[in-house]
Chains A and B, each alone.
Chain A
Amino acid sequence: MAMFRQCPDSGLFFHKSAESLMKAHAVLGVVYLLIGGVLGLLVALTRMPSLHVLNAEDFYLALSIHGTAILIFWIIFFEMAVLYFAASTLLRCRPATPGIGWIGFLLMVIGSTLVMVAFFRGNSSVMFTSYVPMPAEPIFYLGLILFAVGALIGCFIFLGTLVIAKKENTYDGSIPLVTFGALTATVIAIFTIASGAVILIPTLLWSLGFINHIDPLMYRTIWWALGHSSQQINVSAHVAIWYAIAAIIFGAKPMSEKVSRTAFLLYILFLQLASAHHILADPGVSSTWKVFNTSYAMYLAVLASMIHGLTVPGCIEIAQRKKGFNNGLFEWLQKAPWANPVFSGMFISLIIFGFIGGITGVVMGTEQINLIIHNTIFVPGHFHATVAVGTTLAFMAITYFLIPVLFRRQLIWPNACKWQPYIFGGGMLILSLLLLGAGTLGVPRRHWDINFSDAALQFQYAGTAITMMGIAGLGGLMAAVGGAMFCLIAVGSLVFGKRLDPGASLFSSFGFPMAASCYNIERPGKLELAPIEQTGDSGVQAKGTFVLALVFLASFVVYFFINAKYLSSIWPMG
C-alpha cells in the first residue's frame, strides 16, 4: 500500500504514520508553550517590583507551572516531532512501530496532564526541580515518570527507524548530519531519562509512604543528571535544526562532515557531565569531582559548541559566497533573507545562544565563580538565552517551515511572521540581560518579594537591582507578545491557513493524516549522496564568520576575567 507522499515544495517525503505522529507531538508542544508562556508573563510581571501582580502562593504556583510546562513539556513534545522528522522524513523511511509511537504519545499526554492536575490542585508548588524533602502529591511524580517513559519510547523508535532505514537501504552512505545531530539528542535523552527513573521512582514511593527518606544530596546529584542533561538534548536538537535550516534555506553543506560529527561526538561523551553545574555550591562532593565534571572533562563539550558556532554560520557564508555575495567580510550576511522567519529565527537563536547563553553558562559553571552566582536570578537570565532563545526560537523557526511542508497550510499574517522572531528574540534579550545584571547584584531567583515587606528582618538591594528587575519585566512582556504571536500564527495557520494541498483538511492539521489520495508513493527513490562540491582549503573561505568567532572569543575572555575579578572581591573563604 502506498504510504508516502512527496511535498511538492520541499521535495521531502512524508510517511503517513510518521507524519501524523509529528503533527500530534508538535501541536501538543505548542499547547504547552502557550500555557507556559502565559504563566511566564505573570511571573515576570510579579517580579517587577512596581507591579507585583500575583500573591505569593500564586506566584510560586505559576513559577512551578511555567518551568515545567515550558521547559519539559513544550520542548520534549517538540523534540519528539524532530526525531520523527530526522529519522523518517530525512531518511525516506517508514517509522519503526508507529503503533507503539502512539502509546508513547499517549503516555506523554497522560503524564503531562497528571502533572498539570497536581499543580492546579495547589499542593505541588515545588518548582520543576521538586527538591526533597519538600513534598509534592504522588500524581506529580507519577506524571513525570509516565511522561518520561513516553519520551523514551520515542527515542527507541528513532533508533529502530535508523535500523530499518539501513536494512531497507533507503539511503546511500552515512546518515545526514542533521539526523546525526538528532541521534546525539537521542543518546543524551536515553541517559537523561534513565537518570530520571533512578531518582523519581524512589521519590514517588517516598511520597506514597513506602520509603521514609530520600537523601537530599543524592536527590540533587541524580536529579540534575536528568535536569541538566535534558538541556543538552535541547542543545543537540537545536544545533541539528540550525544545520537543517542552513541546508533548507541556503543549500549549505557542512564545512566538514568530519569536524561537525566529531563535535557531536564530544557532546555524546562529555556534555552530560556538566550536570555538576548545579552541585557546585553543595556540601560534601569534592572539588575534584566538581572540577572534572563541571568542565565537561576539560571543556571538551564547550570546544564542540564553539566548533558548531563557527561551522553553522560558516557553511551559510560559504553557500552565500558561492552565490556571488562575495564582497567584503559581511555581504553574505547582509544579503541573507532577514525577512524570512525561518532564517531570522535561526540566526537570532544562534547569536543569542552563543554570545549570551554560552558565555554566561561557562562562566557560572566555573567551580569558584559559581559562589557569586548560584541561585541568583543570573541563572534564569542565562537559561532564557539558551533555552528560550536558543532552543525555543530555533523550534519556532523550523515551525514556519513545517506548517506549509508538513501540514500543507499557508502561513497566515505574513507580516506578523516576519516580525515575530525579532519581537520574541528582542524581548528575551532584554529579559536575559537584565536578569543577568540583577543576578550579579545578588537578586535571588524564585523569590516573590525582594523588598522583604513582610519579613521580620530587613534588607535593601541596590536601587539598580530593583530597576533592572523592572526593565526585565518589560522585556518579558515583549517576549510574551512575540510568543503569543507565534502561537496565534501557528494555530491560526492550521485552522484558517489556505490549504496547499486539497487533502489538508482541518482535522488533518491536528495529528490526523491527510486525505488518503495524497499518499501515492509506495517507496521513495533511494536517498542519494549529496552532490560533490569543492571542499577544504581550495574552496571559498568563511572569513566573515572567522571574524565573528574572534569577536565572540574576545567577549568570552573579557567576561570571564571580569567575573574572576568580582569573585576576588568577596570575603575570603575556604
Chain B
Amino acid sequence: MSILPPSQKIWWKEPIHGIEITWIIIALIWCLVLFAWMPYWHIYGKQNLSNESYKTPPEVFEAKANAMAKAHTVRTEPKSNIPVVKPPAGSDVYMLGRLWQWWPILELEKNKTYRLHLSSLDWQHGFSLQPTNINLQILPGYETVVTITPDQSGEFAIVCNEYCGVGHHTMLGKIFVK
C-alpha cells in the first residue's frame, strides 16, 4: 500500500519486476535518443536558433533600422504608411518591434541569405513569421541576429505572439519574398 510505510524496513534491496526493468531500459534509450537529437540537429539540421546576440540600447537599434530604411526604401505601403525596404542580398537587415507594429516591411530575394537583426523598442514582443511558422521571443535591450534564407516566395506576415498590451492583436508586419 502506497499510503503505508514500505513492507520491508530495507526496501532498497527488494527485487524489481522484470517488466519494470525492461521498461526502464527502453525508456532510457529513448531519452538518450531525444537528447542526442538536439546536438545532431545543430550539426546536420538546417533550422537552428543562432547564438549571436547583443545588448543593444533601443535608440541604437532604432538608428540602425532607420539608416537601413533610408538607404534601401523602394516604396511605401499605402494603407499603413510603412516603408518597404529592399536590402541587398547577404546584408544586415534590421527589423524592430514596437507598440504595435513591426517596422519596416522587408522585400527579400528567394534563396538569398540575410542577417536579420531583431529587437524591441518598448515591451516584449513575439516574432511569429506566418505561414512558415517561425517563432522568436523579442526583448527590449537585446538584439537577436538570425541568418535566414527564405526558400519560398510570396507574402509573409509577422504576427506578434507575445502579449504586448491592448493593441497586441493589431501588431502585424510583412516580408515579401520575390
Q: Do A and B bind each other?
A: yes
- With both beta carbons as reference points, the residue of chain B lying nearest to A135 in the complex is identified as B123
- Report the stretch among A36-44, A143-151, A283-291, A329-337 that lies at the interface: A283-291
Q: Which of A23-73 contact B (CB under 8 A)?
A: 56-57, 60
- With both beta carbons as reference points, the residue of chain A lying nearest to B24 in the complex is identified as A307
CB pair B5 A175 closer than 8 Å: yes
A549: interface (CB < 8 Å): yes
CB pair B46 A574 closer than 8 Å: yes
CB pair A541 B19 closer than 8 Å: yes
Kindly provide the distance from the CB of B170 to the nearest chain A CB, expressed in whole angstroms: 4
- With both beta carbons as reference points, the residue of chain A lying nearest to B100 in the complex is identified as A455
With A459-B159, A542-B17 known as contacts, the answer to whether A176 contacts B144 (CB < 8 A) is no
Taking a contact as CB atoms closer than 8 A, the residue among B23, B39, B138, B159 that contacts A310 in the complex is: B23
Q: How far is the CA of A442 from the CA of B41 in the complex (A)?
A: 22
Q: Which of B1-42 contact A (CB under 8 A)?
A: 1-9, 11-20, 22-24, 26-28, 30-32, 34-35, 37-39, 41-42
With A283-B143, A456-B101, A572-B149 known as contacts, the answer to whether A176 contacts B7 (CB < 8 A) is no
A507: interface (CB < 8 Å): no
- Report the stretch among B48-56, B67-75, B90-98 that lies at the interface: B48-56
Between B15, B123, B133, B171, the greatest number of chain A beta carbons within 10 A of the residue's beta carbon is seen for B133
With A215-B141, A527-B5 known as contacts, the answer to whether A259 contacts B48 (CB < 8 A) is no
Kindly provide the distance from the CB of A277 to the nearest chain B CB, expressed in whole angstroms: 12
A367: interface (CB < 8 Å): yes
B173: interface (CB < 8 Å): yes
CB pair A444 B126 closer than 8 Å: yes
Total contacting residues, chain B, CB less than 8 A: 92
- With both beta carbons as reference points, the residue of chain A lying nearest to B28 in the complex is identified as A303
> Which residues from chain A contact B151 at a C-beta distance below 8 Å?
571-572
A449: interface (CB < 8 Å): yes
A533: interface (CB < 8 Å): yes
Taking a contact as CB atoms closer than 8 A, the residue among A56, A539, A572 that contacts B46 in the complex is: A572
Query: Can you spell out 20 A-B residue pairs with CB atoms less than 8 angstroms apart?
Result: A134-B124, A176-B1, A176-B6, A216-B124, A220-B137, A254-B2, A258-B16, A291-B35, A298-B31, A366-B38, A375-B137, A376-B161, A444-B126, A457-B174, A536-B15, A541-B17, A546-B19, A570-B132, A573-B148, A574-B47
With A131-B124, A281-B137, A457-B172 known as contacts, the answer to whether A246 contacts B16 (CB < 8 A) is no
Q: How far is the CA of A448 from the CA of B164 in the complex (A)?
A: 12
Kindly provide the distance from the CB of B131 to the nearest chain A CB, expressed in whole angstroms: 6
- Report the stretch among A166-174, A320-328, A389-397 that lies at the interface: A166-174
Q: Mark A508-530, 1 if CB is under 8 A from B, else 0.
A: 00000000000000000001111
CB pair A462 B131 closer than 8 Å: yes
With A287-B49, A567-B45 known as contacts, the answer to whether A178 contacts B17 (CB < 8 A) is no
- With both beta carbons as reference points, the residue of chain A lying nearest to B127 in the complex is identified as A281
> Which residues from chain A contact B144 at a C-beta distance below 8 Å?
283-284
B107: interface (CB < 8 Å): no
Q: How far is the CA of A18 from the CA of B4 in the complex (A)?
A: 19
CB pair A299 B6 closer than 8 Å: no
> Which residues from chain A contact B160 at a C-beta distance below 8 Å?
444
Kindly provide the distance from the CB of B136 to the nearest chain A CB, expressed in whole angstroms: 5
Kindly provide the distance from the CB of B57 to the nearest chain A CB, expressed in whole angstroms: 11
B152: interface (CB < 8 Å): yes
> Which residues from chain A contact B165 at a C-beta distance below 8 Å?
134
With A306-B23, A530-B5 known as contacts, the answer to whether A570 contacts B134 (CB < 8 A) is yes
CB pair B50 A574 closer than 8 Å: yes
B64: interface (CB < 8 Å): no
CB pair A571 B132 closer than 8 Å: yes
A471: interface (CB < 8 Å): no
CB pair A60 B172 closer than 8 Å: no
CB pair A253 B2 closer than 8 Å: yes
B83: interface (CB < 8 Å): no
Kindly provide the distance from the CB of B154 to the nearest chain A CB, expressed in whole angstroms: 12
> Which residues from chain B contact A215 at a C-beta distance below 8 Å?
141
> Which residues from chain B contact A217 at a C-beta distance below 8 Å?
139, 141-142
Q: How far is the CA of A306 from the CA of B31 in the complex (A)?
A: 10
CB pair B141 A259 closer than 8 Å: no
A interface residues with partner B (beta carbon < 8 Å): 56-57, 60, 90, 127, 131, 133-134, 171-178, 215-217, 220, 243-244, 246-248, 251-260, 280-284, 286-287, 291, 295, 298-300, 302-303, 306-307, 310-311, 314-315, 362, 366-368, 370-376, 441-442, 444-450, 452, 454-459, 461-462, 527-533, 535-537, 539, 541-543, 545-546, 549, 553, 556-557, 560, 564, 567-568, 570-574
Kindly provide the distance from the CB of A221 to the nearest chain B CB, expressed in whole angstroms: 11
Kindly provide the distance from the CB of A361 to the nearest chain B CB, expressed in whole angstroms: 12
The 9 closest A-B pairs by CB, nearest first: A536-B15, A459-B157, A444-B161, A299-B31, A456-B80, A283-B53, A283-B144, A530-B4, A173-B5
Taking a contact as CB atoms closer than 8 A, the residue among A133, A310, A456 that contacts B79 in the complex is: A456
CB pair A60 B46 closer than 8 Å: no
Q: How far is the CA of A553 from the CA of B14 in the complex (A)?
A: 27
CB pair A299 B34 closer than 8 Å: yes
CB pair A256 B79 closer than 8 Å: no
Q: How far is the CA of A217 from the CA of B56 in the complex (A)?
A: 13
> Which residues from chain B contact A255 at a C-beta distance below 8 Å?
16-17, 20
With A256-B17, A447-B169, A573-B47 known as contacts, the answer to whether A529 contacts B4 (CB < 8 A) is yes
CB pair A557 B17 closer than 8 Å: no
B76: interface (CB < 8 Å): no
> Which residues from chain B contact A314 at a C-beta distance below 8 Å?
17, 19-20
CB pair B14 A536 closer than 8 Å: yes
> Which residues from chain A contact B142 at a C-beta distance below 8 Å?
216-217, 283-284
> Which residues from chain B contact A376 at a C-beta distance below 8 Å?
128, 133, 135, 161
> Which residues from chain A contact B150 at a C-beta distance below 8 Å?
571
> Which residues from chain B contact A131 at a C-beta distance below 8 Å?
123-124, 162
CB pair A371 B49 closer than 8 Å: yes
CB pair A571 B134 closer than 8 Å: yes
Taking a contact as CB atoms closer than 8 A, the residue among B3, B35, B49, B146 that contacts A247 in the complex is: B3
Q: Mark B114-126, 1 if CB is under 8 A from A, else 0.
A: 0000000011101
Kindly provide the distance from the CB of A399 to the nearest chain B CB, expressed in whole angstroms: 17
Q: How far is the CA of A458 from the CA of B45 in the complex (A)?
A: 32
Between A90, A528, A545, A567, the greatest number of chain B beta carbons within 10 A of the residue's beta carbon is seen for A567
- With both beta carbons as reference points, the residue of chain B lying nearest to A279 in the complex is identified as B137
CB pair B7 A374 closer than 8 Å: no
B87: interface (CB < 8 Å): no
Taking a contact as CB atoms closer than 8 A, the residue among B20, B32, B168 that contacts A256 in the complex is: B20
Kindly provide the distance from the CB of A542 to the nearest chain B CB, expressed in whole angstroms: 6
- With both beta carbons as reference points, the residue of chain B lying nearest to A556 in the complex is identified as B30
Q: How far is the CA of A243 from the CA of B3 in the complex (A)?
A: 8
CB pair A553 B27 closer than 8 Å: yes
> Which residues from chain A contact B137 at a C-beta distance below 8 Å?
220, 281-283, 374-375
> Which residues from chain A contact B124 at a C-beta distance below 8 Å?
131, 134, 216
